Structure 1
Amino acid sequence: MNSFFSEDDLKNKFNKEFESFKNNIKSPNVLILGQTGVGKSSLINTIFGQDLANISNIKPETRGFKKYSAPNIPVNIIDSEGYELHNSEKFRDDLSLFINDSLSRIQEQIHIGWYCLSISSSRILPYDIDNLSFLIKSKIPTAVILTQCDNDTPDGTIAERFIQEIKKHFNESIFCFQVSNDVEINKGLDVEKLIKWSENSLSDDNLKLGFLIAQKADLKAKTKRANIIIAGYAVSAAAIGASPIPLSDAALLIPLQTAMAAHLFTIYGLGVKTPEILKSIISGRVVSIIGKSLAGNILKLIPAVGSVVGGVINASVASTITASLGFALSKLAEKAIASGWDGNMQLFDSIFTEENIDTFIKEYQISNKK
């Protein structure tokens, strides 16, 4: 197989594509409100997979609010000081000042609001209803997050009462989502629904993308986006093969597959938290995987070897090769995220192996065999 591209060229392409995709991402501003002890920090950890406050650059905003902005995690959390009943009037004044101030600065505008109510409090206060009304009037898409639902009754009586109370005042203007401090209990609650609502409530596609990348609680949402991306690159590969290319020229697909890998890594958030030296290592690993996969599997990837007519790759073959590689990379990226990958190259190398790539390529081929 002819070599059209040097490894350094492909590494540079991967890095340039990766940076290009990153530069198109916008960070949504998420306002989180709630009384002291309501579980705001636990909610942040649940959605974003880490104690964001501990790794963030903390920027004091208008009185009573702080912005948490972690390097290379595309979301800004605006956290309010927990309010108590005795200073509720002050809190409302601070909230009004903050929202009005943010409206005058495009980069600081609030995109969505999460209003936290603890099940442990057993009731919704008129003050909470007033705050929610204020947020709605301010045209901020707002959801009520019912926290600490592990303290609810087994049949969820308290949460249901809260939900009916919110509906009574706001009909369908505000959605309620139940979450817990317990990982296992959360599996039966509304974490994924909250993520979907949050993404859908963002008005800009690049803000939606930022939220999707930042969240760590719903891998299925990332996979769904990854599948759309893979399908697009498979179509592009088919276009390359529309005029059949010799097997010896199959390397023409590699730049396209390199761009696809960079795109997928961006969606899964792989590489965004690593220093430059590790990014260089990662790009080298990925380029090597793509080259070896294409060179070693181009014939055996396609169950019907006869489809490679006369030693050429047609549109169908080019598309299938690219889609199967994308599927494999996506599956391994999922595994890396689920394993809590944080830049550890030993873990990366144990996941992104030729054997694992081949396994998922074969799985794709079998599941898509006609």
Structure 2
Amino acid sequence: MTPGDDGFRTAFAGETEALGRITILVLGRTGVGKSTLVNAVFGESLAETGIGRPVTQASHLYAREGHGVAVVDTKGLELGTDAEQLVGELRDLVAHSRTRPPHEQVHVAWFCLQAADLRVQDSERAVLEALRELGVPTVLVMTRVGLHQGRTHPDVVAFAAAVEAMGLPVVDGRAHPVMAQADPFSGFPAHGLPELLEVTRRVAPEGVRAALVAAQRVDADAKAKEAGKAVAAAAAQAAAVAATPIPFADAAVLVPIQLRMMSRIALLHNVPMDRATMLALASVAATTGAGRSLTTGLLKLVPGAGTLTGGVVGASVASGVTMAMGAAWIQVCRRYGRDGLVDGVALASGEVRDLFLRELRSALPGGLGGRRSAPHERLR
């Protein structure tokens, strides 16, 4: 069995479904910076380019097929709006979401306050209380918090302290300051987004945390750690399959495990299916020639593994090859995001293949018996 186009696409589709989607309810007055925040975290104008559909009269859900996040954008938190009406709309929204599949339910709320406003309205407090009663974890985000030489304006510091003293029903009991985008005019740097993501990940249901890590574009370390988990899980599965040693010629039974691992890593690094398929085929081209399977081809690259021909593959060999393959594939996906490896020059020149093989060999510097760092340790 070779990792052909159909095999990889099938694995990719399966992992896309398994990864799921996190749905975030974003609230705040017009002009508070909700769209800027969402776009900065997830790397695109989701509300502008996503497909929006009404959830209630006052809100829309924006999502895109294959994207790990959906945003429910709410309207109506304006001066003079009746608090009772707002709370009623919010209850309808959450109740409606709970009639949907798990990935379409509201998992977390980001409630945005602008630092310059220096106040919390009664209607905003009412909405926060309603979210608490509805059981939606709510992260209070203080937007547009500028830092000058690492320091925050004293008025904003005082406002943050006053907000904390209010005892609002929000995660950690305080506002989390962010500057979603650097301001070239004031010189204020962007900050706070990785911290916001970590808080969100912590309070989100366990089943959607990986989807959040995959969708976000601001914390490479979080992606590396999650990818490392995928590699470790695949290596353990491979070891389990080979716990009773399998014939070398039958090592292709490990391929589905490895394709699922590669697909999940690609999803975590925001590599689209078509591009991931091309990168995967280019990566393993050198190991699948002459009709060899992915696994048996890779085994021939492992020091000493060639002596297994006609013999058997045990748990340590299966696990080691899978782990090395995962570490190498992570590097390819990271390079795609950083340098834009594309299907033209890079594939034609063999750059992807050479990168994959180089990283594969470096992941096994002393053969299968040597000590290898975990993928998230090597790739920081």
Matches for 1:233-312 after TM superposition, within 5 Å: 233-245=234-246, 247=248, 249-272=250-273, 274=274, 281=278, 284-285=281-282, 288=285, 291=288, 298-302=299-303, 305=304, 312=312
Matches for 1:117-156 after TM superposition, within 5 Å: 117-150=113-146, 154-156=150-152
Scaled by the length of structure 2, the TM-score of the pair is 0.78
Is the CA contact 1:34–1:117 (under 8 Å) kept in the aligned structure 2?
Answer: yes
Is the CA contact 2:299–2:305 (under 8 Å) kept in the aligned structure 1?
Answer: no
Is the CA contact 1:146–1:159 (under 8 Å) kept in the aligned structure 2?
Answer: no
- Residue type of the partner of 1:254? V
| Structure holding more helix per residue | 1
Q: Residue 326 of structure 1: CA displacement? A: 0.4
Q: How many residues are paired up? A: 353
Is the CA contact 2:56–2:92 (under 8 Å) kept in the aligned structure 1?
Answer: no
Q: Deviations over 1:176-199 (max 9, x none)?
A: 322213359998733122212223
Q: Deviations over 1:122-172 (max 9, x none)?
A: 444454334323322332210111111226784224454343223222278
CA distance in 1: counterparts of 2:359 and 2:276, whole angstroms: 24
SS at match of 1:76: strand
Q: Deviations over 1:45-98 (max 9, x none)?
A: 11111111221112233233222122321322111236432x332x65134223
- Residue type of the partner of 2:51? N
SS at match of 1:88: coil
Q: Deviations over 1:254-295 (max 9, x none)?
A: 3432232223223333225x5xxx676566446636636756
Q: Residue 328 of structure 1 corresponds to which residue in structure 2? A: 328
Runs of 5+ unmatched residues, structure 1: none
Matches for 1:1-370 after TM superposition, within 5 Å: 5=1, 10-81=4-75, 83-85=77-79, 87-89=80-82, 93-105=85-97, 106-107=99-100, 109-150=105-146, 154-156=150-152, 157-170=154-167, 173-175=170-172, 176-183=175-182, 189-203=191-205, 205=207, 207-245=208-246, 247=248, 249-272=250-273, 274=274, 281=278, 284-285=281-282, 288=285, 291=288, 298-302=299-303, 305=304, 312-339=312-339, 345-346=343-344, 349=347, 353-366=352-365, 369-370=370-371
Is the CA contact 2:181–2:190 (under 8 Å) kept in the aligned structure 1?
Answer: no
Runs of 5+ unmatched residues, structure 2: 372-380
- Residue type of the partner of 1:361? L
- Residue type of the partner of 1:94? L
Is the CA contact 1:226–1:267 (under 8 Å) kept in the aligned structure 2?
Answer: yes
Task: Report the more deviating stretch, 186-195 or 217-226.
Answer: 186-195
SS at match of 1:37: coil
RMSD: 3.6
SS at match of 1:53: helix
Q: 1:239 to 1:71 in 2, by over 3 A?
A: closer
- Residue type of the partner of 1:145? V
Scaled by the length of structure 1, the TM-score of the pair is 0.80
Q: 1:88 to 1:308 in 2, by over 3 A?
A: farther
